[in-house]
């Protein structure tokens, strides 16, 4: 079974080759190749889920061969309970994005090839158990993203693409320094690029000497890694690339960006920053919690002021990822599980929001709730687009954490988690829940209620293709809202192991 991860990882690349071999003029064939590839990948991840042993916290489906033996670099893959939900999410969202990109007619060959490449690199980040491999995937992932935003994006796409690229790159340089430092700190031996081998607080007593000052290796490197991951999440104050990137990116790329790419940041904390530097993580958890709290509140406040729907949802991502950071900083069973669950749930609900905005944009060609001249951008969509409205309501209420839909359980778990460590922060964070409902419902009220705006008269309701690709997400949001156990059972052993590790370093 160990080869299955290779299939999941390389299938999109095979698909990409297939797309590249298809003649440019044959748009339909290009799209079909992409669709079939993503569909098979999705099926494979379901096989992964079925074969997955939920009782063990260890890596499963491990595949390891030497890659660059001189530097102890291995091609080493594996997944555990934290990555499995992300894997499924990644496969699902790319399948859906392919369907939603059916309307892309601007050089589709390049677009779908890059999309498939992006999928493979994201899988690579989640599967890699080798630091070098991880870093390669982490960096290469920027390439398709950069072109997808920079070529298929909106008016200001180049600025957004460069900003996205440079900002993330800036963070990953620090990460690279951390990786190299770890390599030498662990003796440059055969396990020195092995992520798992570093875990467990092995560097607590290491020191660094810089310009004659002796400083803690663990704490310094924790912040290096922190910077790399926090920019990706993004945590306040590193969040400003996100609204630009989202507003300019084409729909599918926004979905992927919010749905899985942001989760790579929090995944980095879960896999690297926390388990490798547990003492520093515990020591600085208050700072992480405060930054998470600021992200929650600040993101929500900024979201409320937006007149552009997509920007509003982009800021809501900042706010919701802040909850994940809060859950991580809790370092308790409830908080950590809640955070991982929130990573998945935010992936589905925010993907719904971005897809829905994309659907609307294809009809309206603008995204203004209130146009710059002060007139209403939309109005009466409820009357005009009944099917669309129902799906929108499901996505919106899942986003704002209505019980019965998926977002609630993860948020509740996160609150239960942080209350044990940071009571005051919990009390302030509930404001985020309040504002979180306010901006979404206010937006909904302004766009969907009232008489039908004359501009909206010609809009058509969702067609079958659009309904078809929204259905799996609706199903996820409702099913995991009522039965979270299938997801929590998968993750709890791995998350529990991390919680136990961190607990050892708590005073």
Partner 1 sequence: MEYTVGSIAPIFLAPVLAFIINAFFGRKLPRQGDWLATLSIFISFIFSARIFSDFVFGKFATDFYVHKTFTWFDLSHASAVWKVDMGIYLDNMAAIMLLMVSGIAFLIHLFSTWYMDHDEKHGRFFVFLPLFTSAMLGMVLSDNLFSLFIFWEIMGFCSYSLIGIYNKKEKAGDASLKAFMTTRVGDVFLLLGIVALWMVLGSVTYVDIYAAIAEGKFAGQTVMGISFATFTALCIFLGAMGKSAQFPLHVWLPDAMMGPTPGSALIHAATMVTAGVWVTLRMYPLMVLGDITWFIAVIGAITAFGAATIATVQTDIKAVLAYSTLSQLGYMIMGVGVGSYNAAFMHVITHAVFKACLFLSAGSIIHTVHEQEMPKLGGLRKYMPYTHFAMMACTLAIAGIPFFSGFVSKDRILGDALYFGFMAGQNPMLAIVPILGFAGAGLTAFYMFRMMFLTFYGENRMHHDSHGHGHGHKDAHGHESHGHEIHQEHLDVRQNVPLLLLSIFTLGFWFAGTLTGQSFGKVFGKKVEWFKVLVEAPRVEQFVGHNRQPWGSVDSRDKTELPHAHYHHQSGYAGPNPDDHKIHKAHTIGAIASIIIAFSGVFLAFLMYIQHTVKPWADTFSGITTTLQNKYYFDKFYIDVLIKKGLLGLNRGLAWFDMGVYDRFAVDGWAAVNRVLFTASRWFDNVVIDAIGVDGTGVAVNLFNLVLRIVQSGKIQFYFIMLIMVLVSYIWTLKF
User: Which residues inside 369-428 make contact with partner 1, applying CB under 8 A?
Assistant: 380, 382-383, 397, 402-404, 408, 412, 415-416, 419-420, 423-424, 426-427
* Interaction between residue 302 and partner 1 (CB under 8 A): yes
Whole-angstrom Cα distance, residue 197 to residue 191? 6
Q: State the nearest-atom distance from the C-beta of 437 to partner 1, in Å.
A: 5
Alpha-carbon distance of 197 to 495, in angstroms, equals 17
Residue 189 or residue 403: which is nearer to partner 1 going by CB? Answer: 403
271 touches 82 (CB < 8 A): yes
Q: Of the two residues 39 and 402, which places its CB atom closer to partner 1 in the complex? A: 402
Q: Which stretch in 67-75, 203-211, 354-362, 455-463 sits in contact with partner 1 by CB under 8 A?
A: 67-75
Strands 213-216 and 73-79: unpaired
Distance of alpha carbon 312 from alpha carbon 301, whole angstroms: 10
Cβ proximity to partner 1, 97 vs 133, nearer residue: 133
The only residue of 29, 173, 176, 304 in contact with partner 1, by rule CB under 8 A = 304
Taking CB under 8 A as the criterion, the residue among 28, 205, 237, 286 binding partner 1 is 237
**Which pair of tokens denotes residue 241?**
């690339």
Q: How far is the CB of 190 from partner 1 (least distance, A)?
A: 16
Contact 62, 77 (CB under 8 A): yes
How far apart are CB 402 and partner 1 at their closest, in Å? 6
Contacting partner 1 within 318-357 (CB under 8 A) = 333-334, 337
Residues of this chain, 127-146, that bind partner 1 according to CB under 8 A: 136, 139-140, 142-143, 146
Among positions 445, 460, 468, 506, the unique one binding partner 1 when judged by CB under 8 A: 445
Whether 345 contacts 284, CB under 8 Å: no
Q: Is 128 helix (H, G, I), strand (E, B) or coil?
A: strand
Kindly tell me which residue out of 26, 156, 240, 286 binds partner 1, with binding defined by CB under 8 A. Answer: 240
Query: Whole-number minimum distance, CB 411 to partner 1, in Å?
Result: 9
Q: Tokens 């993101």 sit at which residue?
A: 299
Shorter beta-carbon distance to partner 1: residue 460 or 500 = 500
Q: Is the peptide bond before 237 cis (omega within 30 degrees of 0)?
A: yes
CB of 497 to partner 1, least distance (A): 7
Which residue from 264, 433, 474, 476 is in contact with partner 1, where contact means CB under 8 A? 433
Q: Smaller CB distance to partner 1: residue 190 or 237?
A: 237
- Please choose, out of 18-26, 171-179, 257-265, 486-494, the segment that lies near partner 1 by the rule CB under 8 A: 486-494
- 172-211 footprint of partner 1 as x/- string (CB under 8 A): ----------------------------------------
Q: What is the 3-state secondary structure (H, E, C) of 18-41?
A: HHHHCCCCCHHHHHHHHHHHHHHH
Nearest to 230 by CA among 266, 270, 261: 266
Q: Between 93 and 414, name the residue whose CB sits nearer to partner 1.
A: 414
Number of residues that bind partner 1 (CB under 8 A): 74
In this structure, the number of other CB atoms found within 10 A of the CB of residue 459 comes to 18
Judged on CB neighbours under 10 Å (0-12, 13-18, 19+), 437 is middle
Select from 14, 173, 208, 450 the one that contacts partner 1 (CB under 8 A).
450
Query: Using CB under 8 A, which of the segments 83-91, 211-219, 367-375, 487-495 binds partner 1?
Result: 487-495
Residue numbers 39-58 binding partner 1 by CB under 8 A:
57
Would you state the structure tokens that stand for residue 261, as one six-digit string?
A: 């790419």
Q: What sign does the CA torsion over 329, 334, 337, 338 have?
A: negative
Q: Please identify which residue in the block is written with the tokens 């960006």.
A: 257
Window 141-170: residues binding partner 1 (CB under 8 A):
142-143, 146-147, 158, 161-163, 165-167
Nearer to partner 1, 25 or 155 (CB): 155
C-alpha pair distances (Å), 207 with each of 203, 204, 214, 221, 280: 8, 9, 6, 10, 13
Phi and psi at residue 184, to the nearest 5°:
-75, -35
Q: Which stretch binds partner 1 (CB under 8 A): 9-17, 45-53, 183-191, 239-247?
A: 239-247
Q: Bin 385: left if φ > 0, else alpha if -120 < ψ < 50, else beta.
A: beta
Binding mask 93-132 for partner 1 (x = CB under 8 A): ----------------------------------------
> Are 227 and 174 contacting, i.e. CB atoms less than 8 angstroms apart?
yes
Q: Which stretch binds partner 1 (CB under 8 A): 35-43, 195-203, 350-358, 435-443?
A: 435-443
Task: Look at the chain and count its residues.
Answer: 507
Distances (CA, A) of 48 to 41, 120, 343: 10, 16, 19
Binds partner 1 by CB under 8 A, chosen from 95, 183, 298, 323: 298
Integer Cα distance of 77 and 48 in angstroms = 14
Q: Which is nearer to partner 1, 44 or 148 (CB)?
A: 148
Distance CA 12, CA 36 (A): 10
Based on CB atoms, which residue is closest to partner 1, 79 or 133? 133
Residue that the structure tokens 């964070």 belong to: 429
The distance of closest approach from Cβ of residue 327 to partner 1 in the complex, given in angstroms and rounded to an integer, is 13
């Amino acid at each position: 079974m160990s080869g299955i991860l290779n299939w999941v990882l390389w299938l999109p690349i095979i698909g990409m080759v297939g797309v590249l071999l298809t003649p440019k003029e044959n748009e339909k064939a290009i799209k079909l190749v992409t669709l079939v590839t993503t569909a098979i990948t999705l099926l494979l991840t379901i096989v992964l889920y079925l074969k997955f042993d939920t009782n063990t916290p260890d890596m499963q489906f491990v595949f390891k061969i030497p890659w660059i033996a001189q530097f102890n670099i291995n091609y080493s893959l594996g997944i555990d309970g934290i990555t499995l939900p992300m894997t499924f999410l990644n496969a699902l969202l790319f399948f859906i994005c392919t369907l939603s990109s059916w309307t892309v007619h601007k050089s589709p060959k390049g677009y779908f090839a890059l999309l498939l490449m992006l999928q493979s690199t994201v899988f690579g980040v989640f599967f890699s158990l080798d630091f070098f491999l991880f870093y390669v995937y982490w960096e290469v992932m920027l390439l398709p993203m950069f072109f997808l935003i920079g070529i298929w994006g909106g008016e200001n796409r180049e600025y957004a693409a460069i900003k996205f690229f440079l900002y993330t790159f800036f963070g990953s340089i620090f990460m690279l320094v951390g990786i190299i430092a770890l390599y030498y700190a662990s003796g440059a031996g055969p396990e020195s690029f092995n992520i798992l081998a570093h875990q467990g607080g092995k560097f607590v007593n290491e020191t660094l000497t810089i310009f004659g000052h002796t400083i803690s290796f663990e704490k310094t490197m924790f912040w290096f890694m922190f910077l790399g991951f926090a920019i990706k999440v993004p945590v306040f104050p590193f969040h400003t690339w996100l609204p630009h990137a989202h507003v300019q990116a084409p729909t599918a790329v926004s979905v992927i960006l919010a749905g899985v790419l942001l989760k790579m940041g929090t995944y980095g904390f879960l896999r690297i920053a926390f388990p490798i530097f547990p003492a520093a993580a515990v020591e600085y958890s208050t700072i992480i919690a405060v930054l998470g709290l600021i992200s929650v509140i600040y993101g929500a406040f900024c979201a409320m002021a937006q007149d552009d729907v997509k920007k509003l949802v982009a800021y809501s991502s900042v706010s919701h990822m802040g909850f994940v950071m809060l859950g991580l900083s809790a370092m308790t069973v409830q908080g950590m599980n809640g955070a991982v669950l929130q990573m998945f749930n935010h992936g589905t609900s925010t993907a719904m929001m971005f897809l829905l905005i994309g659907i609307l944009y294809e009809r309206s060609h603008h995204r203004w709730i209130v146009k710059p001249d002060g007139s209403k951008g939309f109005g009466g969509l409820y009357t005009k687009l009944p099917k669309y409205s129902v799906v929108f309501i499901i996505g919106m209420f899942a986003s704002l954490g209505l019980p019965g839909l998926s977002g609630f359980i993860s948020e509740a778990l996160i609150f239960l988690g942080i209350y044990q460590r940071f009571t005051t922060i919990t009390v302030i964070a509930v404001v985020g829940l309040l504002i979180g409902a306010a901006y979404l419902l206010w937006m909904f009220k302004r766009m969907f209620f009232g008489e039908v705006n004359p501009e909206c008269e010609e809009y058509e309701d969702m067609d079958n293709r659009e309904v078809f690709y929204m259905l799996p997400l609706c199903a996820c949001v409702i099913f995991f809202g009522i039965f979270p156990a299938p997801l929590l059972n998968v993750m709890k052993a791995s998350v529990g192991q991390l919680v136990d590790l961190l607990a050892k370093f708590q005073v």
